[in-house]
Chain A
Amino acid sequence: MSAVGDIVHMYREMRRIRAFEDRLMDLKAGGEVPGSMHLTNGQEAIAVGVASILRPDDYVTATYRGHGWAISRGSDLTGLFAEVMARSGGVNGGRAGSPYFSDASINFLGENSIVGAGVPIAAGAALSAQRHGQGQVSVVAIGDGATNQGAVHEALNLAAALTLPMVLVVENNIYSEMVRIKDMTKIDQLAIRAEGYGIPGVTIDGNDPHLVAAAAAEAVERARRGEGPTLIEAMTQRLVGHHSGDAQHYRPRGEVAEAALDEPLQRIRNAADAALLSELDAVDAEVAAEIERAVDAARATELPDPNTAKDHVYA
């Protein structure tokens, strides 16, 4: 099997995201991260699965729960740590923080702190891709709650009408911030909304990176062929709160513990034989070392120079 589809490769990429965020929580506890964060624990298979089939020149747009999307696309861990730690070495020099960073070096158009607002922007990248004619696609991730935002409806209709090469990935973690999505809409599966825009919509198990990759490959190939957008609803669960300080009192007792038995990393471990388990243990150790090197490098960068606070407002 190629490296892209390899289970160890998928596991490693998911572990890098999990370890990055776990380390950020430590750093936050130690006072090294200002503000709140929105972590993606439990949802890593979606970003990793999609990233595994994308080309480097494809565009990706995410939500404020977007650390995993940047990491899966190859953003430098030191730059990401430094950004969330508000240091000058951050990928945006401390101007964006955890919920709003972007990385032009990997065509990551950025996270977005406004629910649903990234979909129109992703449609614009898809317009560029269409016009440039190189077969690029624009992938945009949103949460289940964002499907109720006007911007998402408008942009999906627009992308469909203009046959733009866009793939919308709905990370359905069953909670729309702090309320159940089922209480916020009368439909059981969000993917059926695709029919209203005249585009394909599928609901898949979002905790399996290979299933995600397969669905994404179909949607991306369709977009590259010039056949327009697809909506993929990837079912998953959040193992953590809406934001880093969220105690999740609104979740039923035992829900998170049960979800933890089936989260993407654990699922691979559950099915692994002894040889694979020892390989995965080695991956964990390698990733832990990589994370520590990145944290040290991020810490070594200065705080942002106050004299630059007014830079980059205009060209």
Chain B
Amino acid sequence: MPDATQTISYIQAVQHGLRWSLEALDDTVIFGEDVAVPGGPFGATKNLHRDFGSDRIFDTPISETAFLGMALGAAMTGLRPIAEIMYADFMFVAMDQLVNQIANTRYVSRGTYGAPLVIRTQQGYSSGSCAQHSHSIEAYIAHTPGLRLAVPSTADDAYQMLRAAIVSDDPVVVAEARMLYPTKGEVRLDAPVEPIGGGRITREGADVTVVAWSRMAAAALEAAEELAAEGIDVEVVDPRWLAPLDFDLIAASVRKTGRLVIAHEANLTGGFGAEIAARAAEECFRDLRAPIARVGAPDVPTPAAPALQAVVIPSAADVVSAVRRVVR
């Protein structure tokens, strides 16, 4: 057993979570493109093939439809598969298996079949990533009844939420943030396995609530520090899970501060920020002292050139501007 708490990177935390699942659960199998012998395109599965062998972790052909469907069939018949979709953008290649097959299985069988599987992927832009390697897919996933969705923003959450996903009897998509892979944090390796769901207030404040997840959760904290210097006291809420969404936590914060800003990396139209804004308008209208503001990318595909990316990718500065608008 490693030391109970270690300071490690987000990607190492994922690796620890996968190792935990192989050790703790006999029925766990891991597969995807380049995950076994190569050790994962980002190193998430490093050494796992060496330590657990081809029975537990193996490479698949470049066939997202085939191996997501295989994850479902395996889950229906007693295994607990963890399938890796290398880039979240590639999920669209296999949307039938995700939306029509995996998500429906429990409902249409009246609970006689389940789909206890995990799909790990990573999303968001990185320097030079093009329009087919930059999508933030949370709204597409969260729109589908039957699926669960995790968007961990810290190394500890990457570990804890992955383990929660693995023991869940529902199909869970874990959308990691590629830009956060090198970031380090304390990870509680021997913490009890959490149930899925539950957000967290990562910074307490009195003047405005900023709800942000994935890479933007850290950007929101950065913005809050800058705003504190101006005398604006920002409360930051990281929902951690978008399905099930801990809306009670968000509502309680909005009732306290009276102002709401939602920040995500995905483009704005139909983004998950719109869902939170709509629910806040429905449930917290009388508590709001200003219009709700959203931060997100404009509705354009992600360009490859960093000079162009800088214009469209949301940042801490965009959160600062939005907060200033609502507290004015």
Interface residues of A (CB under 8 A from B): 59, 61, 92-93, 95-96, 100-105, 107, 109-110, 112-114, 117, 119-129, 131-132, 138, 150-151, 154-155, 157-158, 161-162, 311-315
Contacts and interface: CB of A to CB of B under 8 A. Distances in A.
Contact of B114 (A95, A155, A161, A315): A315
Interface string B90-112: 00000011001100001111111
A314 B146 contact: yes
Contact of A93 (B69, B75, B96, B110): B110
A121 B101 contact: yes
Interface stretch (B56-64, B151-159, B288-296): B56-64
A51 B267 CA distance: 51
A121 B69 contact: yes
Most-contacted residue by chain B among A120, A127, A312 (CB, 10 A): A120
Interface in B69-102: 69-79, 81, 96-97, 100-101
The 6 closest A-B pairs by CB, nearest first: A124-B73, A120-B69, A315-B169, A154-B66, A154-B63, A128-B77
Given A114-B101, A127-B29, A102 B112 contact: yes
Contact of A128 (B73, B113, B146): B73
Contact of A121 (B29, B55, B76, B108): B76
A64 to B, nearest CB: 12
B74 A128 contact: yes
Contacts of A110: 108-109, 113
B126 interface: no
Contacts of B148: 314
B276 interface: no
Contact of B108 (A96, A124, A158, A315): A96
A124 B72 contact: yes
B54 to A, nearest CB: 10
B241 interface: no
A138 B112 CA distance: 19
A102 B107 contact: no
Given A110-B109, A117-B69, A124 B75 contact: yes
A101 B112 CA distance: 11
A127 B146 CA distance: 24
Nearest to A140: B73
B67 interface: yes
Given A120-B73, A127-B79, A104 B112 contact: yes
Contact of B63 (A96, A127, A158): A158
Nearest to B69: A120
Contacts, number: 146
B65 interface: yes
B113 A150 contact: no
Most-contacted residue by chain B among A95, A96, A103, A154 (CB, 10 A): A154
B: interface residue count bin: 35 or more
Most-contacted residue by chain A among B60, B70, B169 (CB, 10 A): B70
Contact of A158 (B66, B79, B101): B66
A102 B70 CA distance: 17
Contacts of B61: 154, 157-158, 161
A101 B168 CA distance: 24
23 contacts: A59-B73, A101-B108, A102-B109, A103-B112, A104-B109, A114-B96, A117-B96, A117-B100, A120-B68, A126-B73, A127-B70, A128-B77, A151-B96, A155-B65, A157-B66, A158-B60, A158-B61, A158-B66, A161-B60, A312-B110, A314-B106, A315-B169, A315-B170
A56 to B, nearest CB: 14
B145 interface: yes
Contacts of A123: 66, 69-70, 73
Interface string B140-172: 000001101000000000000000000011100
A124 B77 contact: yes
A57 to B, nearest CB: 10
B76 A312 contact: no
Contacts of B79: 124, 127-128, 131
Given A154-B63, A161-B61, A100 B73 contact: no
Contacts of A131: 29, 55, 79
Nearest to A93: B110
B67 A120 contact: yes
Nearest to A158: B66
Contacts of A112: 101
B112 A158 contact: no
Nearest to A112: B101
A312 B110 CA distance: 6
A173 B98 CA distance: 30
B100 A114 contact: yes
Contacts of A117: 69, 96-97, 100-101
